[in-house]
Structure 1
């Protein structure tokens, strides 16, 4: 049976009081869509500074080929796409039919892809003519500590954004993957005239938009 999504009424009040996703009441379909092993209970969560999310608010999104739109949040730290169902915070299953997510208001695309044995979510910066550029966002948790003396201060745990990793594919073959400061050298070793293009087009390898232009210009 085909899984169907439908929008529930979203009030202008706090989203926690509403459901993000309506799923037909069929246990088989329900288990296919929801990662039931990843129910999240945040009632007793210790205060953590910063945010683990791509966007802090729930966003209307298009998932896979399903025609209806739902409200979700992407948790970078746990690498899960979260939504609310019956007052519970749940996560989508990482399955092929749910592998492409478009955040409508931000025109941002999140894709599920297995790279080097890791089946996770990546921002899709570019996908055209058999070329794809993905960006893996990274957030780590720095644990807090209790002050040891009167001259010291307590420190809360906090989420810290780490340097992302980029993946460049041609016809689904991984050509280069690295942090920005190294990807230029990796592409040069593959025989691409990166330095020449950067100089001619006045591009910076450290900017996403310039990196997209670079990928589009390689051996064109």
Structure 2
């Protein structure tokens, strides 16, 4: 069995107590956990939530790793998996090609080095179709927007707030990610499929290029 990437709460507590003042918490296997430092709500209030699945922590399953890992939640603003120890938040260390499955959410996140729009990044994407031919992913992202200043002294300034961006759907091709095609013409060209065959499948299955479930059906069809 591989080394556990997330250590038990008690072990972390001992290490934290022994390394007060450090931003990173290390342990004997050499892995690291970064303290999730964010402004205190007492000093700096931000409306909304940075979490795409809600604020709760959920059980996870990670193949070939111990079952005794912390409950996690995905922070879509920071692109990090968070866990809690006492009253403090920590980010789990990122590992290339690591898959984290949330059974209660029926959702799997993959952490990997990917290339999109000319940029490389090590981050998390939701796995929608996992295939050696064409894999299909969803990027969840939250941005922090500035609140508006009050135009007068009689009302308060609006707080900064988290706003969810529109989900971005990406297809892998030759280890590079591309936006999902917008229509039949783009799809037939991108997937190198005869346009008439593509039209027939789209029509018979009533494929909507803006619906996730239909996009999954199309990629699964292409992969057959």
Range of TM-score over shorter length: 0.7 to 0.9
Partner of 2:122: 119
Partner of 1:47: 45
Change (3 A) 1:5 1:135: closer
The offset of 1:52, in angstroms, is 0.9
Q: Distance in 2 between matches of 1:96 and 1:88?
A: 25
Between the two proteins, the alignment pairs up a number of residues equal to 202
Query: What's the TM-score, normalizing by structure 1?
Result: 0.76
Q: Bigger shift: 76-85 or 156-165?
A: 156-165
The offset of 1:42, in angstroms, is 4.5
Partner of 2:61: 62
Secondary structure (helix, strand or coil) at the match of 1:218 reads helix
Partner of 1:177: 178
Change (3 A) 1:168 1:2: closer
Deviations 1:47-88 (A, max 9, x none): 222211122211111234213143011100100101113542
How does 1:196-211 map onto structure 2 within 5 Å? 196-211=200-215
Larger fraction in strand? 1
Secondary structure (helix, strand or coil) at the match of 2:170 reads strand
Q: Distance in 2 between matches of 1:103 and 1:89?
A: 19
Partner of 1:13: none
Change (3 A) 1:219 1:75: closer
Q: Distance in 2 between matches of 1:157 and 1:198?
A: 43
Partner of 1:105: 104
The offset of 1:177, in angstroms, is 1.5
Q: Distance in 2 between matches of 1:141 and 1:184?
A: 35
Secondary structure (helix, strand or coil) at the match of 1:163 reads coil
Change (3 A) 1:60 1:22: farther
The offset of 1:149, in angstroms, is 1.8
Query: What's the TM-score, normalizing by structure 2?
Result: 0.75
The offset of 1:181, in angstroms, is 6.9
Partner of 2:4: 4
Q: Distance in 1 between matches of 2:82 and 2:184?
A: 35
Q: Which structure 2 segments of 5+ residues have no match?
A: 16-25
